[in-house]
Amino acid sequence: MAILRLEGGTVLREGDAIAAQLSPLGITLKHWPVGVDPTLKAYLAQPALDDVAKEKVLSGLESYFTQLQTEGGYQTRDLIVLHPQLENLDTLLAKFSRPHTHDDDEVRYVIDGEGIFGFVYPDGRQLELTVEAEDYINVPAHTEHWFYLTSARRIKAVRYFSGTEGWVPHYTQTEIRLQPVAV
């Protein structure tokens, strides 16, 4: 389950309390079970996945994609797999560790591992949300945020897109005041 850390040190672990804090930003956070399919579980236990394995994982989670297509008009999805042995991991992460916005929603369904999204309230306060396996998050377009991995440095997440043109990061000048979480 997700963990929210507010500027000032308050930590929230209860779903309703977290939702109340994310609501002013329009962020949706849900719990989506991965299920018990042993084949899917076996893929999730692997640190890296080839394209065939990624497609099998996506197929095993097709019902969520169908739901998002119907409800939100999402057109495509992919599976991102980040792990410590990935050759260009630090380069990939550097693109998202600075405060930025997108012209489209950022929609992720974490199926393994964990990561941290940071957000900025309109009044400038900051907070960080640790997302873990079975957390679904929708960060609305134009919401200022950043992302980094926890110390485990691994995550598998389905990314959902309504298009590709709105997914370029627009960096802001906001300074991150929160110190990274030692997870």
Beta carbons within 8 Å of 85's beta carbon, 6+ residues apart: 47, 48
3-state secondary structure of 50: coil
pLDDT tens digit sequence for 18-48: 999 999 999 999 999 999 999 999 999 999 9
* pTM exceeding the 0.85 threshold for the entire prediction: yes
Q: Is residue 142 annotated as involved in ligand binding?
A: no
Beta carbons within 8 Å of 99's beta carbon, 6+ residues apart: 118, 120, 144, 145, 146, 171, 172, 173, 174, 176
Q: Does residue 105 contact residue 161 with C-beta atoms inside 8 Å? A: no
- Give me the CATH code for the 3-171 domain, please: 2.60.120.10
Q: What pLDDT, on the 0 to 100 scale, is given for residue 179?
A: 81
- Whole-number average pLDDT of the chain: 94
Q: What angle do CA 92, 158, 103 make, to 5 degrees?
A: 65
Q: Is residue 100 annotated as involved in ligand binding?
A: yes
What is the Cβ-side half-sphere exposure of residue 94, based on CA atoms within 13 angstroms? 4
Q: Is residue 102 annotated as involved in ligand binding?
A: yes
Q: What pLDDT, on the 0 to 100 scale, is given for residue 163?
A: 79
pLDDT tens digit sequence for 102-158: 999 999 999 999 999 999 999 999 999 999 999 999 999 999 999 999 999 999 999
Q: Which of 139, 141, 136, 147 lies closest to 165, judged by CA?
A: 141
Q: What's phi and psi for 17, nearest 5 deg? A: -65, -40
In this predicted structure, the answer to whether residue 80 has a pLDDT above a threshold of 90 is yes
In this predicted structure, the answer to whether residue 167 has a pLDDT above a threshold of 90 is no
In this predicted structure, the answer to whether residue 165 has a pLDDT above a threshold of 90 is no
Instruction: Band the pLDDT of 181: cuts 50, 70, 90.
Output: low
Q: Is residue 106 annotated as involved in ligand binding?
A: yes
Task: Among 93-97, 134-138, 142-146, 178-182, name the one with the lowest average pLDDT.
Answer: 178-182
Q: Could you give the CA distance from residue 117 to residue 180 in angstroms, rounded to a whole number?
A: 11
User: What is the mean pLDDT of the segment spanning 69-85?
Assistant: 95
Q: Which of 99, 94, 121 lies closest to 171, judged by CA?
A: 99
| Helix or strand (DSSP H, E) at 45 | helix 38-45
Q: Does residue 77 contact residue 159 with C-beta atoms inside 8 Å? A: yes
User: What is the mean pLDDT of the segment spanning 85-92?
Assistant: 94
